[in-house]
Amino acid sequence: MSRTVLITGATGSVSSGLLDALQGSALALRALVRDRSKAGALERRGVEVVVGDLGDPSTLPPAFKGVNDLWLLTAMDPRAPENSMNAVWAARQAGVERVVRLSAIGAAYDAPTRNGRLHALSDHELQASGLRWTILRPHAFMQNLLWQAGRIAHDATFSLNMAHGRLGMIDLRDVADVAAQILRAEPERHHGRIYTPSGPETLSYAEAAEQLGQVLGRTIHYVAAGAEDAHAGMVAGGIPHWLAGMLVEYGQALGSGFGDFTTTDVEEVVGRPPRRFADFARDHVAAFAA
């Protein structure tokens, strides 16, 4: 009998990547969405769609019924620990066997970002839940640079408040492949493990700009922004105040050396090296091209 996996955050980038990675597996895929009208693409690919909201626990029991494994992803939000708590409670009530949770790089009670501290609360709750669990705390995503793709295409420039810190950035497709491999395995295989998937090398954004320019055939410039300018630019671009503040915190932490490391977790779990930044750049030429 096939196992049923419930995917939360199903219309977001990471969970969409996970669904791609699990396509064709023996697992029965079920996606939790808040708005069925936005789930047409999921239904067309044969994914069972259920409606529910992690912020409203009364909507969750039908979605969790018959589920064996839960992919738990909560959006960056002050209510993230509440949403994670509701999911873990619903999982326990429904008899879910395993939870694979997407946490955050360096999640800890003394993390330099609010997001990291909020995720630490949820990680601890899951670890104490009595369920089998695996936690992923991935490095910064290469795909974050796509947020500035329009500016790169138009001005050949991008700006972040990460100074010249070095990052072990990871392609989110590798995070999805790690999660997929864990979900395909028996529940005991990765129980109690915390993985921090990273890319194969550390890069500054100036070096990333140089590699991107080599792929595009033109010079790309990285400009190190101050915290205030970065925050103002994000808010002006429509990012909510709280989220902009949290992203600035990440920029300050990563710029000071918080992300200057790599791990072998992708190769350990998936059995191949992670993608390099140049691979990411080549695969997204259309987004960055003038």
Tell whether 190 is covered by a domain. Answer: no
The region that residue 99 occupies, defined by phi over 0 for left and psi between -120 and 50 for alpha, beta otherwise, is: beta
Clarify whether residues 67 and 105 are in a common domain. Answer: yes
- DSSP summary character for residue 36: G
Higher-pLDDT residue of 244 and 118 is 118
Using an 8 Å Cβ cutoff, are 9 and 38 in contact? Answer: no
Q: How many domains does the chain have?
A: 2
Distances (CA, A) of 49 to 73, 167, 179: 16, 36, 20
pLDDT at residue number 239: 83
How far apart, in whole angstroms, are the C-alpha atoms of residue 241 and residue 139?
23
Q: Kindly indicate the confidence band of residue 192, based on its pLDDT and cuts at 50, 70 and 90.
A: very high
Residue whose structure tokens are 């055939």: 217
What is the reported pTM? 0.95
Clarify whether residues 284 and 150 are in a common domain. Answer: yes
Clarify whether residues 147 and 132 are in a common domain. Answer: no
Clarify whether residues 125 and 150 are in a common domain. Answer: no
Closest CA to 196 of 108, 106, 85: 106
How far apart, in whole angstroms, are the C-alpha atoms of residue 15 and residue 37?
18
Pairing of strands 157-160, 69-72: unpaired
Tell whether 178 is covered by a domain. Answer: no
Tell whether 184 is covered by a domain. Answer: no
Clarify whether residues 224 and 151 are in a common domain. Answer: yes
Residue 195 has pLDDT above 70, yes or no: yes
B/e letters for 24-48, b = 16+ CB within 10 Å, e = fewer, are eeebbbbbbbeeeeebeebeeeebe
Give me the mean pLDDT over the 128-154 stretch: 95
Mean pLDDT of the chain: 95
Residue 66 has pLDDT above 70, yes or no: yes
pLDDT at residue number 244: 87
Tokens of residue 151, six digits: 């500016």
Residue whose structure tokens are 């992670």: 274
Closest CA to 191 of 138, 269, 134: 134
Using an 8 Å Cβ cutoff, are 140 and 14 in contact? Answer: no
Sequence letter at residue 112: P
Closest CA to 126 of 115, 134, 118: 134
pLDDT at residue number 209: 97
Clarify whether residues 66 and 148 are in a common domain. Answer: no
Clarify whether residues 107 and 133 are in a common domain. Answer: yes
- Portion of the chain with pLDDT greater than 70, in percent: 100
Using an 8 Å Cβ cutoff, are 115 and 75 in contact? Answer: no
CATH label of the domain that carries residue 40: 3.40.50.720
Clarify whether residues 117 and 147 are in a common domain. Answer: no
Tell whether 22 is covered by a domain. Answer: yes
How far apart, in whole angstroms, are the C-alpha atoms of residue 212 and residue 221?
10
- DSSP summary character for residue 57: G
Residue after which a domain boundary falls, among 120, 137, 154:
137
Cα dihedral sign, 195-6-23-276: negative
Clarify whether residues 48 and 74 are in a common domain. Answer: yes
Clarify whether residues 70 and 108 are in a common domain. Answer: yes
Tell whether 29 is covered by a domain. Answer: yes
Using an 8 Å Cβ cutoff, are 17 and 171 in contact? Answer: no
Give me the mean pLDDT over the 217-226 stretch: 95
First to last CA, the chain: 50
Clarify whether residues 130 and 18 are in a common domain. Answer: yes
Rounding to the nearest 10 degrees, give the CA dihedral for residues 197, 263, 283, 75. 30
Q: Which residues pair with 5 in a beta bridge?
A: 29, 69
CATH label of the domain that carries residue 244: 3.90.25.10
Beta-carbon contacts of 285 under 8 Å, excluding residues fewer than 6 positions away, are 215, 216
Helices 227-236, 241-255: crossing angle, 10 deg rounding: 150
Q: Kindly indicate the confidence band of residue 230, based on its pLDDT and cuts at 50, 70 and 90.
A: confident
Residue 40 has pLDDT above 80, yes or no: yes
Residue range(s) defining the domain that contains residue 217:
142-167+199-261+275-288
Tell whether 128 is covered by a domain. Answer: yes
pLDDT at residue number 234: 81
Helix boundaries (H) for 55-171: 61-64, 80-94, 114-127, 149-155
Q: Kindly indicate the confidence band of residue 1, based on its pLDDT and cuts at 50, 70 and 90.
A: low
Residue after which a domain boundary falls, among 137, 152, 176:
137
Clarify whether residues 154 and 101 are in a common domain. Answer: no
